[in-house]
Amino acid sequence: MNFHYRFNIQFLGYRYSGWMFQPKYKTVQGMVDKTFEFLFPESKFKTFGESRTDAKVSANTFYFYLNIDREIVDPNFIEIFNSNLPNDIKALSLKSVPAGYNPLGLKNNKHYIYLFSFGEKPHPFAAAILFNEPKHLDIEKMKVGAKLFEGTHNFVKYCSKPTANTILTREVTHCEIVENTFYAANFFPEKSYCLSIKSQGFLRYQVRLIMGQLFELGKGNITLKDIKDSLIPMDEIPVRNIAAGSALILQEIMP
């Protein structure tokens, strides 16, 4: 008999090559599976992430599904699980789910944020979740540019290596540049900013490519018209500038 559980976790992605298991790389799923192997050495199990993250990307909210041949009955299991996970992964909760539960078929809305600053280089400790652009950025123009991505568009130029079956037309329900009020630390710069973006589904590298375009806009290398034109694509060549993964955070997953 198998038992089925949905876990809610958080992780700092800076030293991981994303969530999904890769034989030659350190991944969040790999560390989670190793922990289950240690806690349940005689059991057979399988984990499935309800979404994916790129290398170095962090998550304030992330869900994965566990299919295992034994029941988890200890009411303190989350504490036990956390005491065996590395310090950059934290389990928040688990709940039993039906046998027919399909984590890959969920249509949840995802909220990503991208933290950045510009000008003087901040303390190196900030690098794990905040990107610094040394050149001046026109934040007001970037705010206007971010709003252009809202709505339903063909995002072929904001996707890496789409397949013939990739659905390129997506709806972005919210996209704006705001001052960062999500995270703070005494080693952060005095002022930092954030791209806040929401959609039911994102393409591979979509948020990082959008952020890269907004950086180019803020530096004066492209115009608002260039962004408008990229959303009515005449070709399938992706935009060239992709923002670093380490400042991207999966902030929230909403029903």
In tens, the pLDDT along 172-186 reads: 999 999 999 999 999
pLDDT in the model for residue 64:
95
- pLDDT at residue 52, as a whole number: 87
DSSP-derived secondary structure for 57-110: -EEEEEEEEEEESS----TTHHHHHHHHS-TTEEEEEEEE--TT--GGG---EE
Higher pLDDT among residues 214 and 161, named by residue: 214
pLDDT tens, position by position, 100-128: 777 666 678 999 999 999 999 999 999 99
Q: With pLDDT > 90 as the criterion, what percentage of the chain qualifies?
A: 88
Q: Is the pLDDT at 237 greater than 70, yes or no?
A: yes
**Quick one: pLDDT at residue 103?**
66
Neighbours of 137 (CB within 10 A): 20
**Rounded Cα gap, residues 158 and 255, in angstroms:** 25
User: Quick check: 197 pLDDT over 90?
Assistant: yes
- Could you give the C-alpha distances from 186 to 28, 75, 123, in angstroms and in order? 27, 37, 9
Report how far residue 129's alpha carbon sits from residue 26's, in angstroms, rounded to the nearest whole number: 18
Whether the CB-CB separation of 157 and 169 falls below 8 Å is answered with no
Res 238: pLDDT: 86
**Model-level pTM?**
0.94
Report the DSSP beta bridge partners of residue 151: 172
User: What local confidence, expressed as pLDDT, does residue 128 receive?
Assistant: 96
Q: What whole-number distance in Å separates Cα of residue 54 and Cα of residue 92?
A: 22
Kindly give, in sequence order, each residue whose CB lies less than 8 Å from that of residue 206, ignoring residues fewer than 6 positions away: 155, 158, 159, 170
- What is the average pLDDT across 13-22? 96
- Residue 68 or residue 236, greater confidence: 68
What's the whole-number mean pLDDT along residues 14-31? 96
Q: In this model, does residue 36 exceed pLDDT 80?
A: yes
Helix segments in 104-194, DSSP class H: 139-147
pLDDT recorded at residue 104:
63
Residues in contact with 48: Cβ distance below 8 Å, sequence separation at least 6, in sequence order: 64, 65, 67, 103, 104
